[in-house]
Amino acid sequence: MSAPATDRGLLPVTLRVERRLGTPRWLPLAATLAAIGAALVLSGLLLALIGADPFAVFAHILGASFGDLYVLSDTLVKATPLILTGLACSLAFRMRLWNIGAEGQLLMGAWGASAVVLLGIFPAGTPGIILIPAMVVGGMVAGALWGGIAGVLRARLNVNEIITTLMLNYVALSFLRFWVFGPWSEGGFQQTVQFPRDAWLGRLTELSWLIPDVAGMTVHGGFLLALVAAGIVWWVLSRTRTGYEIRLAGDNPQAARYAGIDLKRKIVLVFLASGALAGLAGASEVSGTVHRLQDSLALGYGFTGIVIAYLAKFHPLGVIVAAIGFGALILAGREIQPAGIPAMIQGIVLVCVIVADALTRYTLRVVRR
Amino acid sequence: MSLEVLLAAGVASGTVLLLAALGEILTERSGILNLGVEGMLFVGALAGFKVGLETGNPWLGLVAAVLAGTALALLHAFVTVRLGADQTVSGLALTLLGTGVAMVLGEGLAGGGTGALLPTLTIPLLSAIPFLGPVLFTDQSIMVYVGLLLVPLCWWWVERTRPGLHLRAVGENPTAADALGVNVIRTRVIYTALGGALVGLAGATITMAISPGWNANQTTSGQGWIAVGLVIFARWSPWRALLGAWLIATIRRLALDLQGPDEILGIPNVFHLYQPATFFLDMLPYLLVILVVVLGSREAIRRRLGAPAALGVPWHRGERGL
């Protein structure tokens, strides 16, 4: 199990890099925190290298995202789609299925939710209590189908899902553009008309008649939906037979096959569910935040979901925490120049997390010869 | 728009896909999956453009691009080969990192002109061949010829030389290769770095030859990912990579060209009847990639040909693989 010592020095002891047999419970969390710390230091060094003041940038990010209750509300708005894409990635990654298409599934979800409103399925004046659930379902179905394409291709024809999900991201964006530039365009602009009020998810500010302090807070019902989704994903993964089978298939596909688990069905199922979660993110964005469909909707949420999933070690509760952190980064990042800094920090975080992850699997031991 | 002009443009822009795919083939043949192609392509494109712009010397830009691609690839090699981390995630991290770094360092360069350009060449004699001459050998960028030369060179190196045999052994069965005295770790690091160098070269080909200039996040338009798909279609063979690169690039080009003229072959351009319909043309290259990967996967199943057996599996001496 261990690498043989190559150093045959004069000392009676030697250092060996050994694989850990068991991991202490505190280690993964400590490693993640260390990774985040290392990522901050590295990002700071890179920022200093390009002539920015890292302390000013970090202070700005903290102030602009957690400074008071209003910006905290804005942070939660940004975190909402991230929780859902983070869950989408976590669920798929847990079975070692690389769904990198949350971005496209989110766009299709936004399209599906918009179609419910704009295709005139419901007569004008339909109350929100019918319209909004219909939009949520529309978004989830569209996202699920989009994810399902990659799932079926993987299950039936063994087609690499990384490629298909990625390519479908580009296809989804073109599809969306066709609708917002074409049939649904508002007077030639690249966006649809604003949805009727009944299609808007409730926002906290609407409770200001009850609690005056929340006036102006834009956090919306999508955040609650995301929390519920996180709860459901947690419950399914850790408390149901299906979840157990998904985890087993992820940890040891061969054992899962011997145990009689139908892997192909599980693959399609996981892709449908993963796509539905990302689709819900899209529905929540159009219904809760922008109130119309436009092509500048995704902003890399699907890719940030990958980083979030890894940072959270695929645990739904961790996804919520990590998503709020990245929501802050993205919110504050809008005003930071150069514009690529949030993306760069995300990359550095992911590299640090996987390095820390790999290091926790090994231990240095002093061995007597 | 004649067929020759279209194909010549396809060959030119296919060089980006070809160089990136050749790099990824070399890396994957050693058993290392590097999904960071898009990120390496980005930093290569930026390094080439920026150094070319500031020094006025495209060759220095080329060197910078190769170094930038290699540097990112070495990070991947350290994380996956040395530490044995998951190759898929490390590659994704590399793509995020490379894209972010290129965006940060490229701030303000977009729309700032074309910078230094790599020279174009017309090959005497060969360019006189009917059809093939105008398509392949007339007024093409020097990188097109580099790509054309690298295809047989890669094939010969991998399939016909002793180091190539070692490379394949490491990718198929690292434990056996190790028992025969091949340095598995070193081989994997070298070919991961070499792959990064070629992808960096591909990046410089974008910004200094094919579509000169820096277009911020539009610069690569997913070509790094297309190259990863191309490797699967190519079944890790340089020759099929050449074929696939030309095919996909020509379709990409065609999708652009069809949006322009009012008439195609004497028929009014249907896409001009309803302009937004051109967005369906934009989907074509990406759908085509899915199609060729599906075809490649089917053929791989049917003929029992597959990826290098140890692709994506970490290896440490004395430990059993997954």
Domain assignment of residue A27, yes or no: no
Pick the closest to residue A87 from A264, A273, A246, A242 (CA basis): A273
Tell me if residue B309 falls in helix, strand or coil. Answer: coil
Pick the closest to residue A274 from A241, A246, A240 (CA basis): A246
Q: How much of chain A exceeds pLDDT 70, in percent? A: 94
Coarse DSSP helix, strand, coil percentages of chain A, rounded to the nearest 5 percent: 70, 5, 25
Range of the domain at A190: 80-320
Residue A120 has what pLDDT?
Answer: 83
A interface test, pick of B233, B286, B311, B319 with most A CB neighbours within 10 Å: B286
Cβ–Cβ contact B177 with A under 8 A? no
Ranking A89-93, A128-132, A351-355, B252-256 by mean pLDDT, the lowest is: B252-256
Domain assignment of residue A290, yes or no: yes
| Alpha carbon of A141: minimum distance to chain B alpha carbons (Å) | 21
Q: Which of residues 212-251 of B touch A (CB under 8 A)?
A: 222, 225-226, 228-229, 232
User: Once rounded to an integer, what is the mean pLDDT over residues B189-197?
Assistant: 97
B151 vs A329, more confident: B151
Number of domains observed in the structure of chain A: 1
Q: Which of residues 189-208 of B touch A (CB under 8 A)?
A: none
* Torsion angles phi and psi, residue A169, rounded to 5: -60, -50
- The 10s digit of each residue's pLDDT in B61-106 is 999 999 999 999 999 999 999 888 889 889 989 999 999 899 888 8
CB–CB contact B96 A4 (8 Å): no
**Residue B46 pLDDT > 90, yes or no?**
yes
| Alpha carbon of B226: minimum distance to chain A alpha carbons (Å) | 8
**Residue A297 pLDDT > 90, yes or no?**
no
CB–CB contact B96 A307 (8 Å): yes
Domain assignment of residue A203, yes or no: yes
Domain assignment of residue A352, yes or no: no
Q: Identify the band that residue A7 occupies on the pLDDT scale cut at 50, 70 and 90.
A: very low
CB–CB contact B279 A157 (8 Å): no
Residue A2 has what pLDDT?
Answer: 43
CB–CB contact B107 A337 (8 Å): yes
Q: Identify the band that residue B121 occupies on the pLDDT scale cut at 50, 70 and 90.
A: confident
| Alpha carbon of B259: minimum distance to chain A alpha carbons (Å) | 14
Q: Which of residues 7-36 of B touch A (CB under 8 A)?
A: 35
CB–CB contact B92 A306 (8 Å): yes
A interface test, pick of B17, B89, B305 with most A CB neighbours within 10 Å: B89
Cα–Cα distance between A135 and B246 in angstroms, integer?
43
Say if residue A317 is exposed, middle or buried (CB neighbours under 10 Å; 0-12, 13-18, 19+): exposed
Q: List C-alpha distances in Å: A307 to A62, A159, A311, A366.
A: 20, 24, 6, 35
Domain assignment of residue A34, yes or no: no
Domain assignment of residue A245, yes or no: yes
Is the dihedral angle over the CA atoms B62, B63, B64, B65 positive or is it negative?
A: positive
Domain assignment of residue A344, yes or no: no
Domain assignment of residue A160, yes or no: yes
Topology of the domain comprising B3-302: ABC transporter involved in vitamin B12 uptake, BtuC (1.10.3470)
- The 10s digit of each residue's pLDDT in B200-220 is 999 999 999 998 889 888 888
| Alpha carbon of A53: minimum distance to chain B alpha carbons (Å) | 14
| Alpha carbon of A360: minimum distance to chain B alpha carbons (Å) | 10
- The 10s digit of each residue's pLDDT in B245-272 is 999 999 988 888 877 776 666 666 767 7
